[in-house]
Structure 1
Amino acid sequence: MNVQWKGVMPAVTTKFTKNDELDLNMFEVNIKAQLHAGVHGIVLGGTLGEASTLLDEEKRELTRFTVSLVKNKIPVLVNIAEQSTKQAIAAAQKAEADGAHGLMMLPPMRYKSGDLETMTYFKTVANSTSLPIMVYNNPVDYNVEVTLDMFEELLKCDNIQAVKESTRDISNVTRIKNRFGDRLKIMTGVDTLGLESLLMGADGWIAGLVCAFPQETVAIYELHKVGKIQEALEIYRWFLPLLELDINPKLVQNIKLAEVYTGIGTEHVRAPRLPLSGQERNHVIKIIERGLKNKPVLPDYKNL
């Protein structure tokens, strides 16, 4: 499948049972809700999520299950976040063998690589696989920035095709477009800059709260796409308090609690994470309940 780097692609949460095993039944419920809403791709194993807690075989099982579930309707991307080049190559090759259509890839984990090390890492992995790659550029959370000069070198690899732009600098979308045009596709990676990034020329949105609110997220994208900016803005303004749950150290717990309220998830997390409790939980519940109470009526965004 040729990955089209555009539209809404949820970085889906991993579903667990109360016995800390993969909950493929509830995972299927959520994926089907995403498909029904019209998302344009699925991203597995988000790094700020629970990917680091998964066993290797669990990651592969999730990949194979998702690929079989979507039936080539949309691409399935697997996140690569490893500590060594050797591990990253192995992960990329396993993802390809398991049927993934593309990769989302971070710089090396833990070790803060220099510019040359970072570029060599990406290029070496890219040359080991035929899968298209989206570079995840998030210096805020991972302390390594992939600069435009570095992308100039990385784009010598034909299969490095997109960036998940998470620098939090909205003007970086324009810088990328000015420098690379359509050669480097831009997927915004910050929920609270979703519509702003699209308006500045981003091609799509790797989203978080879409896991609980798929239709609302896709509606914003589709309305923006056809120039119905005011209608998109009205939904986005309603959505913002919920989107802010994603820019939080406990984003996984926040999103999973929201999924409970919308009927497409559970609160089960893998230790050391624990479900929200006390005042923190009550605060998030108030945001979710307020959002549901004031939920906008969506237009027929699939037929604009």
Structure 2
Amino acid sequence: MAIDWKGVFPAVTTKFGEDDQLDFPLFEKNLQFQLDAGVNGIILGGTLGESSVLSLEEKGTLVKFAVEKVAGKVPVILNIAEGATRDAIELARLAEEWGAKGLMMLPPMRYKSDHRETVEYFRATAKSTSLPIMIYNNPVDYKIEVTLEMFAELADLENIQAVKESTRDLTNVTRMRNLFGDRFKILCGVDTIAMEQLLMGADGWVAGLVCAFPAETVAIYKLTKTGRLAEALEIYRWFMPLLELDIHPKLVQYIKLAEERAGVGSEAVRAPRLTLIGEERERLISLIDGAIAKRPVLPEYHSIVV
């Protein structure tokens, strides 16, 4: 399956049971919830997927399970967040073997690579696989920026096709377009500026709160891209207090709590993360439940073609 890098791509959470094992029934329930809303792909093992605490075996099981349940409706994409280039290459090989149709890639973990090292990390991995790749550019959280100059050096690699734009600099969408035209597809990577990035020409949205509110996320995307801005803005303004959960250090706990309150997930996280307690949890529940109580009535968006 070739990937059309546009639309809404949920960075799904990993579901755990009380025994800290993978909760496949709940994972399947959320996958179906996303598909029913009309998402365009599924991303596994990202920040929200708690990649750093998943074993290699668990990643493989998750990919194969998702591929089976999605049944070709949308591509399944695996995130690569490795410290060693050889480990990134091996995970890319395994992802293809497991049935993933694409990769999302962060720069090297734990070591702050320089320009040359960052480019070579992406280049070596891309050359090792036939899978299409979306580079995850998030210098705020991961401390390495994939600069415009780096993208220029990677442009000859045909399978590096897209960027998850998470620099939080809106002008970067325009800079990418000015320099590269449509060579790289651009997907919003920060929920709180997603509509703005779409208006500036981004092709899609790698979303977080979509995990709990997929219909609203897809509706905003489609309405914005087809010029129905007043309708999109009404939903976006309602959504903003929830979208701000995506830019907090505890985004995993916050978004999982939102999934639980929406009836499509649980609060369970894997240590060292801990579930929320006390005033913090009560404050979040009040915010989430208050938003759910005022959930907007969505226009019929499934038939909108972008």
TM-score range for the pair, normalised by the shorter chain length: over 0.9
SS of 1:162's equivalent?
A: strand
Q: Give matches, 1:53-68, under 5 Å.
A: 53-68=53-68
Separation (CA, whole Å) in 2 of partners of 1:107 and 1:255: 24
Q: CA deviation at 1:48?
A: 5.3
Which residue number corresponds to residue 7 of structure 1? 7
- Whichever residue aligns with residue 56 of structure 1, its letter is L
* In 2: Cα distance, 1:146 partner to 1:29 partner: 35
CA distance in 2, matches of 1:70, 1:181: 32
- Residues 108 and 129 (structure 1), Cα distance of their counterparts in 2 relative to 1, 3 Å cut: same
Q: 8 Å contact 2:210–2:217 — kept in the other structure?
A: yes
Higher mean alpha-carbon deviation, 257-266 vs 11-20, is at: 257-266
In structure 1, the residue matched to 2:243 is 243
Q: Could you say what secondary structure the match of 1:237 adopts?
A: helix
Q: Which residue of structure 2 aligns with residue 162 of structure 1? A: 162
RMSD (Å) for aligned C-alpha atoms = 0.7
1:291 aligns with 291
Q: Would you say how many aligned residue pairs link Structure 1 and Structure 2?
A: 304
1:128 aligns with 2:132: no
Whether the 8 Å contact between 2:103 and 2:132 is mirrored in structure 1 is: yes
TM-score by length of 1: 0.99
Structure 1 match to 2:29: 29
* Alignment check: 8 A CA contact 1:78 1:95 kept: yes
Equivalent residue number for residue 82 of structure 1: 82
Once the two structures are overlaid, the 10-residue window that deviates more, 223-232 or 11-20, is: 223-232
Pairwise CA distance, 1:286: 1.3
Q: Which residue of 2 aligns with 1:98?
A: 98
Identity across the alignment (%):
63
Asked if 2 retains the 8 angstrom alpha-carbon contact of 1:224 and 1:232, the reply is yes
Gaps of 5+ in 1: none
CA–CA distance in 2 between the matches of 1:100 and 1:168?
28
Counterpart residue number, 2:194: 194
Is the 1:165–1:186 contact (alpha carbons within 8 Å) kept by the matching residues of 2? yes
Paired residue secondary structure (2:156): coil
Structure 2: unaligned runs, 5 residues or longer: none
Q: Hey, what does 2:220 align to over in structure 1? A: 220
> How far, CA to CA, are the matches of 1:130 and 1:61 in structure 2?
21
Over residues 80-114 of structure 1, what are the superposed CA-to-partner deviations in whole Å (9 max), with x where a residue is unaligned?
00000000000100001000000000110000000
Query: Shift in Å at residue 47 of structure 1?
Result: 2.8
Amino acid at match of 2:289: E
Matched residues in 2 for 1:50 and 1:145: separation? 21
Runs of 4+ in 1 over 2 A off after TM superposition: none
Tell me the SS of whatever aligns to 2:164: strand
